[in-house]
Amino acid sequence: MSRFVEALKENVLVCDGAMGTMLYRKGVYINACFDEINLSAPDLVQDIHIAYAKAGADILSTNTFGANYWHLKNYGLEKKIIAINQAGVKLAREIAGNELFVAGTIGPIYPYVNPPFKEEDFYKGYEAQVKTLAEGVDFFILESFLHLDALLIVISLIKQWTDLPIVAEITIDDGEHLLSGEHVSEIVKPIEESGIVAWGFNCCQGAKHILELIDIVKDKATLPLVAQPSIGFPRKIEGRKIYLCTPEYLAKYTRYYLQKGVKIVGGCCGTTPEDIKAVRSAVRSLSPGRMIRIESVRESILNKPSTPPVVPLAERSRLAKKIANKKFVVSVELTPPKSPNPSKILEKAKILKEMKIDVINIPDGPRATARMSAQALAILIERIGIETLLHVCCRDRNLIGLQADLLGSYALGLRNLLIITGDPPKLGDYPDATAVFDLDSIGLVRLVQNLNRGLDLIGRPINGATGFLVGVGVNPMALNLEREIEKFEKKVEAGAEFAITQPIFDVKALENFVIQVKHLNIPIIAGIWPLRSYKAAMFMKTEVPGVVVPDEIVERMAKSPSGEAAIAEGIAIARETLEAVKDLVQGVQISAPMGRVEMVNKILGEIL
């Protein structure tokens, strides 16, 4: 009898949580092949195994959920199938030693192979994976199977290739029926007669859903049952969607599972080491038993050199110090020229320095126009002695180029970043230009914060750390404000440290937004855009995405459609807006239309 089966008879075993979720949190982008990270960033995978071992997991699952032929072929990696699976076993086993168990994780090949299923497709899909994993794992865990017939075929094949124990997990997206049509009460007998040692449910709609499924099958089941819920779906509360699944919530349902006789508990999509720590605590309270320890985790791995300390916010730049100390900041936007000559912009920067403006904000190809490099202009301006806030957008550079530019920017002395997704090329001068968008603004914030921790995109040490101040854009006037707030919450979760709004013309909309995001406790800097003509007002109202200009503002500009009178009215509106918002926010960003920086002084006046 295997060591795992013996332990299962004696104890409740705690499995680890999500691998994919943790890889994504560490900066691995969603379109990457997560299984291949075993080869390209093994330390990143091993760090996750260590975290789960420290949290109290008895079972570490190999990072091989999709390491079958069909899934890897989708990425052009089918020739690396053996290497990827071997690495997956090695990384888990080095942490598990002989005390923890290593589960060879196998996921379904649906949707790469669709019903009606043919055994030869499964043979081709799994043979190399199973035979490779069998060389080093304690048992197999089949996760997230949606079709009973597919699950039974895979079990049958594994038993032909190895005599290692098999644990099977079903996922049901909704209700009580598998995707293949069977009701859960109908699958007990065929699954238990297939030769596995335990079975149950993973993912589903969360902990409560799995408890309901366990209730249906527990009286018919004779084998040990498994429950590994995801964090479920958000619930709408007071207009916003909130995930109610906390570590305490999972601990509560773990106790319910144990009362129903479940023998393997853990977590699936969205769960973290913090969740598994709570699950372990719940198991300990109801099932003391033999506690598997992590003494086998190599001391050299647990104590490997740490990454450099994160630079404190107030020490990153003068702007960061003001933000950290909750001082009101003033930024002015200067758009890079369309020529190679920066002299006029540099003269305007000198004037702004004399005004004692805190920082000059430099857009990166605004409205998808081809202009001087924002990074190059920022370096030239900083030589004058005033800080810049460099826009970094996702449109024009791939992952490699973004990381390279960020490291170069830091080496050249730039410290303040505003992360934006970027306008699509179709809005600009060259609509046929190719957009990259390897990352969105959320992913790019994660990348920058990884660099701030001394790690690259996928979590590998980079021999040093950056100290960027990280800002993001936000739109208080978005048509779908609920969606905008959800996205903003994700930016803050990823590491945003302040936000700059779109130009504000509707103060009530800003006030409403500030109230709704108060829980995020992040500084907001309001955009102020002085209109210079009625035509400019109409352009902002109709052509600039995300900007809302109320009719009364347009009507005011219409009374002085152009010339100095129109500029004076635009400045008056901007002054009124600044006066109205200054107590709502921690700063303002003033745009200088056509580079007319003299407007800035007139807007600021004696207000601040």
Sign of the CA dihedral with 153 first, then 157, 158, and 159 last: positive
Residues 144 and 70 in one domain: yes
What is the per-residue pLDDT for 457?
Answer: 75
Sign of the CA dihedral with 68 first, then 73, 75, and 76 last: positive
Would you tell me how many other CB atoms lie within 10 Å of the CB of residue 166?
Answer: 22
Q: What's CA 44's distance to the chain center, in Å?
A: 16
Which of 271, 278, 269 lies closest to 143 in space, CA to CA? 269
Mark 429-445 as b/e (b = at least 16 C-beta within 10 Å): eeeeeeeebbbbbbbbb
Q: What's CA 541's distance to the chain center, in Å?
A: 33
Please write the tens of the pLDDT for every residue from 372-421: 999 999 999 999 999 999 999 988 888 889 999 999 999 999 999 999 98
Residues 288 and 434 in one domain: no
Is the pLDDT score of 606 beyond 70? no
Confidence of residue 240 (pLDDT cuts 50, 70, 90): low
Residues 491 and 570 in one domain: yes
What is the per-residue pLDDT for 300?
Answer: 42
Question: Within a domain: residue 253?
Answer: yes
Specify whether the CB–CB gap between 168 and 201 falls below 8 A: no
Question: Within a domain: residue 72?
Answer: yes
In the structure encoding, which two tokens stand for residue 213, read together? 């499924």
Most confident of 374-378, 559-563, 603-607: 374-378
What is the per-residue pLDDT for 439?
Answer: 81
Please write the tens of the pLDDT for every residue from 59-114: 999 999 999 999 999 999 999 999 999 999 999 999 998 889 999 999 999 888 88
Please write the tens of the pLDDT for every residue from 138-147: 999 999 999 9
Is residue 106 within a helix (H) or strand (E), and if so which, with residue range? strand 101-106
For residue 434, what is the domain's CATH number?
A: 3.20.20.220
Confidence of residue 239 (pLDDT cuts 50, 70, 90): low
- pTM exceeds 0.85: no
Question: Within a domain: residue 231?
Answer: yes
Residues 189 and 322 in one domain: no
Averaged over 47-51, what is the pLDDT? 94
Question: Within a domain: residue 289?
Answer: yes
Question: Within a domain: residue 303?
Answer: no
What is the per-residue pLDDT for 383?
Answer: 96
Residues 266 and 347 in one domain: no
Residues 356 and 469 in one domain: yes
State how many domains the chain has.
2
Q: Which of 245, 273, 298 is the last residue of a domain?
A: 298
Residues 291 and 320 in one domain: no
Residues 280 and 377 in one domain: no
Question: Within a domain: residue 306?
Answer: no
Residues 269 and 352 in one domain: no
Q: Determine the number of helices (DSSP H) and then strands (DSSP E) in the chain.
A: 24, 18
Of residues 592 and 495, more confidently modeled:
495
As a whole number of angstroms, the distance between CA 48 and CA 363 comes to 37
Distant-in-sequence, close-in-space partners of 411: CB < 8 Å, separation ≥ 6: none
Q: Is 287 exposed, middle or buried (0-12, 13-18, 19+ CB in 10 A)?
A: middle
Question: Within a domain: residue 308?
Answer: no
What is the per-residue pLDDT for 350?
Answer: 96
Backbone angles phi, psi at 186, to 5 degrees: -90, -10
Residues 454 and 333 in one domain: yes
Q: Measured in Å, how far apart are the chain's first and last C-alpha atoms?
A: 78
Residues 265 and 345 in one domain: no
Give the 3-state secondary structure of 446-496. Answer: HHHHHHHCCECCCCCECCCCCCCEEEEEECCCCCCHHHHHHHHHHHHHHCC
Confidence of residue 287 (pLDDT cuts 50, 70, 90): low
Which of 108, 96, 309 lies closest to 203 in space, CA to CA? 108
For residue 128, what is the domain's CATH number?
A: 3.20.20.330
Specify whether the CB–CB gap between 307 and 465 falls below 8 A: yes
Q: Which of 273, 298, 323 is the last residue of a domain?
A: 298
Which amino acid, one-letter code, is at 426? K
Q: Which of 250, 268, 298 is the last residue of a domain?
A: 298
Strands 329-333 and 359-362: parallel
Please write the tens of the pLDDT for every residue from 505-514: 999 999 999 9
Averaged over 328-339, what is the pLDDT? 94
Give the domain extent around 41.
3-298
Please write the tens of the pLDDT for every residue from 188-204: 999 999 999 999 999 99
Distant-in-sequence, close-in-space partners of 99: CB < 8 Å, separation ≥ 6: 292, 293, 294, 295, 296
As a whole number of angstroms, the distance between CA 362 and CA 355 comes to 18
Confidence of residue 236 (pLDDT cuts 50, 70, 90): low
As a whole number of angstroms, the distance between CA 158 and CA 116 comes to 20
Is the pLDDT score of 242 beyond 80? no
Question: Within a domain: residue 304?
Answer: no
Averaged over 312-322, what is the pLDDT? 96
Residues 294 and 336 in one domain: no
